[in-house]
Structures are given as structure tokens and as C-alpha cells.
Amino acid sequence: MDGYIPLETGRRRTLKAAIGCVGIGLHSGRRVALTLRPAASGTGILFRRTDIGIEIPALFDQVVDTRLCTALGASEAPEHRIGTVEHVMAALAGCGVDDAIIELDGPEVPILDGSAAPFVFLIDCAGLTAQAGFGPAEAIEVLRPVRVQEGSGPDAAWAELAPSGGERLEASLTIDFPTTAIGRQSLSLRLTPHAFRAALADARTFTLAEDIARLRGAGLAQGGSLDNAVVVDGPLVLNPGGLRRPDEFVRHKLLDVVGDLALAGAPLRGRFGGHRSGHALNNRLLHALFADPANWRPVPGHMAEGAAARLPAAAAPAVA
């Protein structure tokens, strides 16, 4: 058993109770308290910074930075940010949470152990409940292939979404690093709560030892350590416990994809494919998807009342 209890189908899911943790921001190095709270049906996922009194919806068009993480900014004040949202977003999406409020008293989601597993643990401890008296949870169906790319030739990085005909996101990713300990790795899966927990949730973020000084000089990775990231030096993994899985690197990159695509505002029904894709390309892919209404549609009978209003303006379906 993985702790996931299926709930009544056709209902949105939120947390049964509030639950929190305290940790360090990977890039800011600041101590941050985080609380996951239940939310009313149709809220979606909403970030709330209690220290400065702002709320930011977890949507792709709120992304203001993709350097080594995905950061959201307030529309009226982009400098008011919430960084490293991808792991908690992946946990919520992977566990099937439709509505939740994420409260923080600082500028970055705590990194914890560098994976989504601690957030899955919090969700399991709080429990899930189906929202009473509301329509089915909405989904976004991909109707046409959409692709974004950086570079050209065999070394090009790219990401794409295509129709699948299924009711879950299907995802396939390949990474390719010159560092011996990582190399070329590939992984494909169908995103169900069980698959997310079993295959992706515990995969940790990683970095190269040679990059640490440069990152810290740029004001990044101030809270990084062997407790919250895998550090690779050539053929060596420097963490005393080694890797959790031989292909932990591609698993974590696919975990990031799940978190970044959760910023679509609703579960995607389609097939994701990527080669050397990261936060920037993942976000560009959502912008490309929603740039043309012919690329997507709300699944008939699955767009709950009021849900379209919280999709980004570029993504809101036309009303006749």
C-alpha cells in the first residue's frame, strides 16, 4: 500500500486538515514555515505569503523566473516572489489534490530533502476529502501537438505535448549529461497517484560539484547541502548514502516536469515528451499550448462551475 485511498470519482479533492513544516530555502538559505491548508472547491492551488500579505495563483502565466527552479510572482508586484514551487506542486498533482492553499512566511518553498516525498508525507498525514456539492474535477485535453525547442541538431533540447486519448498524463523524458555519474537516462510513465509515489516522489534534486561556487556567487544555492541535494563530481556521487535509485537523476527531472505542468491550472490529458527539458522549456510549453484555443479544450462534463474563471486569461475557453 502506498497510502493513497481512492475517493469518490467526479469530485474535487482537498485536504482534510491543515498541516505544516519548517525548512530551509534551497536558493535563499532562509528558514521558512510552510502550511498546506484545505481550500473551497474551485479554488485550485493558491500560494499565500503571510509575511507580506500577497496571494499568487499557481498558474503558468505567473512564472517570473526559471533559473534552476520555478518561481511565481504577483501580477501587481513581480518582485514579490515565491521560489522553488515545483516539488510541492508535483506532490499535490501527483496525489490528486485539486484545491489547496499553500501558506509561506518567506520567499521560497523549503527544500526539505530535495524531493517531493516530504510533501507527499504531509498530504498523507492530513488526508484527502472529496468536496461536497460540487461538480466533477476539470481536466484539460490536448488536441494538437505543440512543441518548443532550444538549439538545433541532435543536441537540441525540446519539450512537446500531444494528444493521447487517455485520461491521465503520459510522460517520457530523456536527459543527457557529459558527467559520467549521470550520463544519458530515460524514463516513461503514466501519471497515476501510485506511479508518482512509486517512481518519482523520492527522487532528489542534483547539481555538479564544479557549479556550486558559481551558483553561490550568483546568489543561488545558499541553502544547498548534501542533506537536500545529490552532488556529483565526475564519476562520483558525493552523498554518503549514494543514490536512492541508479536513475534518480532522470526521475527527478520528470518530477520537475510534473510540478511545472501542474501550473496549467488543471490536470492535463495528453502525452508529454522531452529531451533535456528544464523549467524554462516546460513553462514555454504551457504558454505555447494555451496560445491557440485550437490546441486544447476542457473535457466535456469535467469543467466545474467557476473553474474557467481561475484559468489564465490566455487559457480561458471562449464562451459563445
Is residue 42 a contact partner of residue 238, using CB atoms and an 8 Å limit?
no
b/e burial code for range 251-274 (CB count within 10 A of at least 16 → b): bbbbbbbbbbbbbbbbbbbbbbbb
Catalytic residue among 27, 275, 279, 302: 279
Residues pairing with 290 in the sheet: none
Nearest to 106 by CA among 23, 39, 45, 46: 23
Is residue 252 part of the annotated active site? The answer reads: no
> What span, in angstroms and rounded, lies between the C-alpha atoms of 131 and 15?
10
Is residue 93 a contact partner of residue 302, using CB atoms and an 8 Å limit?
no
Distant-in-sequence, close-in-space partners of 222: CB < 8 Å, separation ≥ 6? 25, 27, 28, 29, 216
Residues pairing with 23 in the sheet: 32
Residues pairing with 187 in the sheet: 173
**Total number of residues shown for the chain:** 320
Give me Rg for the CA atoms of the chain: 19
The alpha carbon of residue 77 and the mean position of all alpha carbons in its chain are separated, in whole angstroms, by: 23
Q: List strand residue ranges (DSSP E) for 2-83, in order.
A: 13-15, 19-24, 31-37, 45-49, 54-57, 63-65, 71-74, 77-82
How is residue 156 annotated by DSSP? -
Q: HSE (CB half, 13 Å, CA atoms) of 8?
A: 12
Q: What residues are labeled active site?
A: 279
